[in-house]
Amino acid sequence: MKSVHIGICGLGTVGSGTLNLLQRNAQLINPRANCEIIVSQVGARRDNPNCDTSSLQVSRDIFDVAKNPEIDIVVELIGGTTVARDLVMTALENGKHVVTANKALIAEHGMEIFATAEQRNLMVAYEAAVAGGIPIIKGLREGLAGNRVNWLAGIINGTTNFILSEMDSKGREFADVLSEAQQKGYAEADPTFDVEGIDAAHKLVILASLAFAIPLDTQPVFTDGITQLHPQDVAYARELGYAVKHLGIARRTDEGVELRVHPTLVPQSCLIAEVDGVLNGVMVSADAVGTTMFYGPGAGAAPTASSVVADIIDVARAMHSDPQSWVPALGVPTAAIKPCRILDIQEIETSFYMRFSALDKPGVLSNITRIMADASISIEAIIQREQPATEEYVNVIILTSVTRESALDAAVERIEALDTVRDSVTFIRVEHLDQ
């Protein structure tokens, strides 16, 4: 059995998890890779007490690993997009295959990295970059390769899903759950990347590129976080038969591709509504297979290491074979990746949940429904409760039929201009995820 030498850069959570997994399951992993996988070097600024590097060559300079002539595969687990990009490019320039868990790096610099790898007959694998331990990259790129994908929708950030699950099941406020999540280690000290949807947007870009053979580009993704979400909307949604999830959605339409990350009402009867806590779930709907879902832990040392090691096995097994036989990083050669029009959020068509506070007197609701009718927006459901006589204003909740967001926006503007409506109109997009 021949040997394949790997170098691991970064000994944080994922790096130590990967090293531990390779050591623990070596007897299982080597026959699956059809070679002996040897960790020849580790590059890390400091040791990690969660793993044993005593028998390994450890360098404080990760670039030593990228240049080590003995190493076949460089495993980039340092995170970030500056040094990580330099490291990966250095590894490729030195003839190393690359395995990475870095979603930001792939989303932002993937095209350059994959093109370089292709020119040099090297592989870059990144299963761990999306949805942690769930093999969604392989499932989408290879398992569903016979299909034309129609849309995909994923809970691809465990932190936001944990917060939303708590808000839903316990009626808690966003800020309150966030601070608990930070204490538990589910959320970073600076949670912006997660709660504003930036992390999800990175992952969505990768999934959309695989699904539609479009270039990796984070710029046109509409991204809205969960920081403004109010518990009462989560509660009204539940009353209407929906759960609120923070979804990354990519959909192919006749006019272009939708790419958007935002809080979304999904029917409780839809399986993804049941994906709770820090777990992830990605639905893929395609012309032949219909609708599928891939579910599991989307983060953490061991699940992420699971995907990193799967990539190491794939690369180690195939690296000495004809590069023409390799699965291209994005499913097709980079030359076959073609830009397409990405729709502006104003152009998308979906249903909407609306909430506003209206004066509780005759004729008010009639004005509002008139505005909706003028905009050709049908009302699918409405909630307005009887109020105590002392309350001047009443909450009105509306679920609309499918409409263009620009039409909804125009209607919202007219409603907000009414004297009888207080404050602004809250609206949340609704997806039925049924076709």
- Is residue 327 a contact residue for its own copies (CB under 8 A)? yes
Number of Cβ within 10 Å of residue 181's Cβ equals: 22
Spot the catalytic one: 103, 138, 203, 245. Answer: 203
- Position among 72, 76, 118, 127 found at the interface with its own copies (CB under 8 A): 127
Q: Between residues 189 and 288, which has the closer beta carbon with respect to its own copies?
A: 288
Return the residue of 10, 15, 110, 135 that touches its own copies, per CB under 8 A.
135
Q: Which member of 61, 93, 148, 413 binds its own copies (CB under 8 A)?
A: 148
| Strands 36-43 vs 58-59: parallel, antiparallel or unpaired | parallel
CB 239 within 8 A of CB 383: yes
Least distance in Å: CB of 432 to its own copies?
A: 16
Can 203 be counted among the known catalytic residues? yes
Give me the helix-helix angle, 405-417 and 364-374, nearest 10°. 150
**Does 403 participate in binding its own copies (rule CB under 8 A)?**
no
**Which CB atom, from 302 or from 379, has the smaller least distance to its own copies?**
302
Cβ closer to its own copies: 183 or 321? Answer: 321
Q: Among 159-167, 199-207, 255-263, 305-313, which window interacts with its own copies (CB under 8 A)?
A: 305-313
Residues 63, 66: Cα–Cα separation, whole Å: 5
**Contacts of its own copies in 189-218 (CB under 8 A):** 213
Q: Quick check: 74 and 98 in contact, CB under 8 A?
A: yes
Closest distance to its own copies from the beta carbon of 134 (Å): 6
Signed CA dihedral, 316, 320, 324, 325: sign only? negative
The distance of closest approach from Cβ of residue 27 to its own copies in the complex, given in angstroms and rounded to an integer, is 9
Interface with its own copies in residues 256-275 (CB under 8 A): 271, 274-275
Closest to 400 measured CA to CA, from 386, 390, 410: 410
- CA–CA distance, 158 with 130 (Å, rounded to integer): 11
- Fill in the DSSP letter of residue 342: B
Surface-to-core class of residue 406, CB atoms within 10 Å of its CB (0-12 exposed, 13-18 middle, 19+ buried): middle
Half-sphere exposure of 83 (CA within 13 A, CB side): 12
Beta strands, E only, 21-91: 36-43, 58-59, 73-76
Stretch that binds its own copies, among 100-108, 318-326, 359-367, 387-395 (CB under 8 A): 318-326
Closest distance to its own copies from the beta carbon of 159 (Å): 17
Residues 275-304 touching its own copies, rule: CB under 8 A, are: 275, 286-297, 300, 302-303
Q: Measured from the CB of residue 308, what is the shortest distance to its own copies in angstroms? A: 8
Instruction: Pick the stretch among 108-116, 135-143, 247-255, 376-384 that binds its own copies (CB under 8 A).
Output: 135-143
DSSP 65-76: HHH-TT-SEEEE
**Distance between alpha carbon 59 and the CA centroid of its chain, in Å?**
33
Kindly state whether residue 34 participates in binding its own copies, applying the rule CB under 8 A.
yes
Number of residues that bind its own copies (CB under 8 A): 66
E strands present in 90-175: 97-100, 124-125, 149-155
Binding site for its own copies (CB under 8 A): 17, 21-22, 24-25, 28-29, 31-34, 127, 133-135, 138-139, 142-148, 213, 271, 274-275, 286-297, 300, 302-303, 305-310, 312-314, 317-322, 324-325, 327-328, 331-333, 336
Q: Annotated active-site positions, please? A: 203
